[in-house]
Amino acid sequence: MLHKSLVIAPLLFLFAISMVAQDVRHYKNIADTTTDNVLKLTALDSVLSKSFRKDTKTFIDYSQIYINLAKDMDSIEQAAKKAMNLQHPLTNIGNDPEKAIVILNGVLAHKYKIKDSFLLGGLYLKKGLAHYTKNYKEAIEDYTLALQNFSSKDSIHIADALLLRGHARSSLGEFVSARKDFNDAYIIYESLKDYQYMLRAQQGKITMFSINGFYELAKKERAELITKLKTLDLKEFLSTEYFNQALDYQKTGDSELRLKYLLEAKKNLTDTLNTKMFINIHSKLSEYYSEHKELIKAKQEILTIKPYYDSALGDPSAELNFNSAHATFLIAIGDYDNSLFYANKKLENAEKLGVEDEIMDSHLMLSEIYKNLGNYKKSLENKDQYAVIRDSLYSRSNANSLAYYQTLFDMQKKEKELVEKNTNIKLLEKDTQTFKKVMFFISLAIMLGFGIILLSRNRRNLKSKKNLQEGFSQKLLVSQEQERMRISKDLHDGIGQQLLVIKNKLISTGDQDTMEMVDKTIDEVRNISRDLHPFALQELGITKAIEHTIRQIDENTSLFISSEIDNIDNLFTPEEEVNIYRIVQESLSNIIKHANAEASKVLVKRFANNIIISIKDNGVGFDFNEKYQDKKSLGLKTLLERTKVLKGQMKVISKIENGTILEYKLPLQ
């Protein structure tokens, strides 16, 4: 069955290709033969859609026919769309950016007929991309025109234009302007939550600094980017940034931080990163260990890479780092014959990539190897090539630094001159505006005076209302407690005593069933009486009363309670002790009713100036703000009022599905 599938699958694929080719030929035939322009334009559109990314030559040839016909038919916006799509194949595949520019200019000659800001800005953006391969200044002009023609609804394309202009300005050495473009692009991408391109904007700026020798600026910017990635939880990008930070610390000779960031890069490797990054990180770790004579670790890193190396063949960057690590390790163990092979491979990779730092390092490595092999001529040749590149990079770095800081100085100088001019203008205008300003400030002072009076009055009223409300709440709690005490006493002394009389009479009759019912009723009355007013407070004291309540709940419910209770007897008035008892009782009651908890812990701790009551559970938790605003939920409000009566503070720590902590801090008078 599998054999049949393997035979049929290629046949189906060839059949599909054949059908597409027949479709393209069909539409080509219509486009080449019809005299109806509308039909021809439709057929050309079909040819382009079917040849896009499949047949580049057909796409390029028929795109030009479509664009010319659309312009003849005054369908300029349709011509603009096709011209934009044509730029990349012509520039990057056909290697003919000049032709792309001519075609785009041909459409831009009719730009006043284009109403869509995306198309108008897009034409200039594509023209900038074509110019970028040949002329950075022209590219910058095109990107600037794109920015002028995009509208506010084209924010993503504005960010693209800023990013591209930043790269062009960086290539011309206009670092201050490039930095601003990268920053502006970064802000837009972040606001649109396009984090991948946000990262590219920041990396563009960091790469600009790093390549041109501004290592401190590069490290500072990359550190800020790493912090941002952590804040946004974009962990998949962290490894790359840690790796790049390690490379900059290597260039500045900081071995400790170099290793730290390489290990961070290794730790943050994720499944989404490709094999290339895996090889790069472990190669650089091996290099570090070889340089510091930790040869077992260095070898282990190379062995870690080998199973994955074949899949990265053809990637010059991964090959370069692996060959560099291998050569460095072999040099460290004195195997110069074999290290020569890997050092030459590293040089080959570096030249292919065009990375001057790596080319320079390769020549220095080869110079050392040849010297140890006794080939002093080759050693000197490579040392000379190393020196030439080093001096060139040093001179360029100095020139770039001078240009960067000179530009900064010029900009600050211009800003200062502008401030001075504005100051002079303001001084000239000051005499004529003094009276207006005086009147304005007098009016403002009067208005502020009225505002302050009204604000003060409102604050007094609000404070008075708040005090009245708090006073009422506190009196209400006192009244409730008094009423509970009265009812509790009536139950205990009245109904309770009567039930005892009934029980005594039933003893003589021998009616056991009725006696059991009376006993249960007496117990129920006593429980209700105890709940209404804690007589245990008067009998046992506040400390024992709290312990008794905890024990009762622990024994009679499924809630397991652990406790640590310090002695707090005789620290509060009887009324205050009632409120403290109620706080503990009501907090535990809320846990039983609402928390769905299995366990709770009660702490009562005595300190020099206060006591702290902490009640914690492992229940379902809740949103405090939502619960407190719920008019039906009186539990939290009552607890807060009782805390205020005691002049204390109440703190609630709770998260959904993460339990609750209620903490009360009560001062000692």
pLDDT tens string 509-539: 666 666 667 666 766 656 665 565 566 677 7
Average pLDDT over residues 562-587: 87
Q: pLDDT, tens digit, for every residue of 232-264?
A: 887 777 888 888 888 888 888 888 999 998 998
Using CA atoms, how far apart are residues 284 and 250, in angstroms rounded to an integer? 10
Please state which of the ranges 74-78, 181-185, 440-444 shows the lowest mean pLDDT.
440-444
Beta-bridged to residue 651, according to DSSP, are 663
Residue pair 128/150 in contact by the 8 Å Cβ criterion:
no
More confident residue, 553 or 472: 553
* Of 146, 158, 206, nearest in space to 179 by CA: 206
* Mean pLDDT of the 104-115 span: 92
Higher pLDDT, 530 or 201: 201
**For position 432, what pLDDT does the model report?**
63
DSSP 113: G
Could you tell me what percent of the chain has a pLDDT over 70? Answer: 76
CATH topology of domain 541-667: Heat Shock Protein 90 (3.30.565)
Phi, psi angle pair for 564, to nearest 5°: -135, 105
Decide whether 274-374 matches 541-667 in CATH topology: no
pLDDT value of residue 604: 93
- Burial code of 28-67, b = ≥16 C-beta within 10 A, e = fewer? bebbeeeeeeeebbebbbbbbebbeeebeebbbebbbbbb
Q: Are strands 560-565 and 599-606 parallel, antiparallel or unpaired?
A: parallel
Kindly state the percentage of the chain with pLDDT values over 90.
23
pLDDT above 80: residue 471: no
Average of per-residue pLDDT across 60-67: 90
CA–CA dist 619, 627 (Å, integer)? 15
CA gap 283, 302 in Å, rounded: 7
Q: For all residues of the chain together, what is the average pLDDT?
A: 79
pLDDT for 519: 64
Domain boundaries, the chain: 274-374, 541-667
Do the beta carbons of residue 303 and residue 277 sit within 8 Å?
Answer: no
- Domain 274-374, what fold? 1.25.40
| Window from 97-106, 129-138, 654-663 with minimum mean pLDDT | 129-138
561 forms bridges with which residues in the sheet?
600
φ, ψ for residue 228, nearest 5 deg: -65, -45
Mean pLDDT across 87-97: 86
Q: What pLDDT does residue 2 have?
A: 32
Output the six-digit token pair for 270.
């994720």
Statement: residue 588 has pLDDT above 80: yes
Beta sheet of 599-606, edge-to-edge order: 560-565, 599-606, 610-617, 660-667, 649-654
Token readout for 53 is 């990314």
What is the average pLDDT across 611-618?
Answer: 92
Predicted local confidence at residue 229, as pLDDT: 80
Residue of 53, 51, 93, 85 whose CA lies nearest to 67: 85
Q: Which of 577, 591, 525, 574 is nearest to 546 (CA)?
A: 577
pLDDT tens per residue, range 132-160: 877 878 989 999 999 999 998 999 999 99
- The stretch 88-114 carries a mean pLDDT of 89
Q: Alpha-carbon distance 62 to 421, whole Å?
A: 58
Q: Give the pTM.
A: 0.47
pLDDT in tens, 361-400: 889 999 899 999 999 998 898 888 888 877 776 555 554 5
* 382 within 8 A of 370, measured Cβ to Cβ: yes
Which range among 190-199, 443-452, 648-657 shows the weakest confidence by mean pLDDT? Answer: 443-452
356 pLDDT tier (thresholds 50, 70, 90): confident
DSSP 8-state secondary structure symbol assigned to residue 154: G
Q: How many CB atoms lie within 10 A of CB 450?
A: 10
Residue with tokens 């502020």: 448
**pLDDT band with cut points at 50, 70 and 90 for residue 288:** very high
Greatest mean pLDDT among 7-21, 57-71, 196-210? 57-71
Give me the pLDDT at residue 366, please.
92
Tokens of 378: 């080759």
- Closest by CA to 576, choosing from 492, 474, 651, is 474
The total number of residues written for the chain in this structure: 669
For the segment 435-445, the average pLDDT, to the nearest whole number, is 75
d(CA 75, CA 94): 26
